[in-house]
Amino acid sequence: MTLVTAGVVVLDCAEPEMLAAFYKGLLDAEETDATANRVEIRGAEGIRMAFRRDVNITPPSWPRPENSFQAHLDFRVTDLDAAEREVVALGGRPLETNDAGAPHEERGYADPAGHSFTLRLTPPTAPKQH
């Protein structure tokens, strides 16, 4: 018998409605549940996230060297430039990273509440044409 039927990534923030709107736009998601202190969404590809109100939250401060990467999100994209334009239009901001040795092209961002996430280029899977 399975005890856990689904998992949801939950981000604490001061304004869950605002942060849910950002991720709804980024993930082409729909709202599945909302209360006064929590909003849950499900993305087109099945990604589930929730945003919980914490009025005393201190926004994450990565990439300052004195703070570690406590948690972050990775999203796969097929066009980094187009995805970056969408992130910025939705209220996100690019973060400077010095990870030039990464095996795949990627870029770091912060959502409007300061949570860090990475857009990672998904290489094409179609066979090469000769």
What CATH number corresponds to the domain at position 105? 3.10.180.10
Asked whether residue 103 is assigned to any structural domain, the reply reads yes
Residue, of 121 and 42, whose pLDDT is higher? 42
Q: Is residue 130 part of a domain?
A: no
For tokens 């690019």, name the residue: 94
C-alpha–C-alpha distance, residues 68 and 90, integer Å = 26
Least confident residue range of 17-31, 43-57, 111-125: 111-125
Q: Is 1 within the bounds of a domain?
A: no
pLDDT of residue 1: 59
Contact 113, 99 (CB under 8 A): no
Q: Which domain holds residue 104?
A: 9-121
Q: How much of the chain, in percent, has pLDDT values that exceed 70?
A: 75
Counted domains in the chain: 1
Task: Specify if 85 maps to a domain.
Answer: yes
Q: Is residue 127 part of a domain?
A: no
Specify the higher pLDDT residue, 18 or 116.
Answer: 18
- Is 128 a member of any domain? no
Residue-wise pLDDT tens digits, 66-107: 655 566 788 989 888 999 999 999 999 998 755 555 545 889
CA distance 41 to 80: 23
Does the structure show a pLDDT above 60 at 39?
yes
Q: What is the mean pLDDT of residues 16-33?
A: 96
* Domain-embedded: residue 110: yes
Is 101 contained in some domain?
yes
Q: pTM score, two decimals? A: 0.75
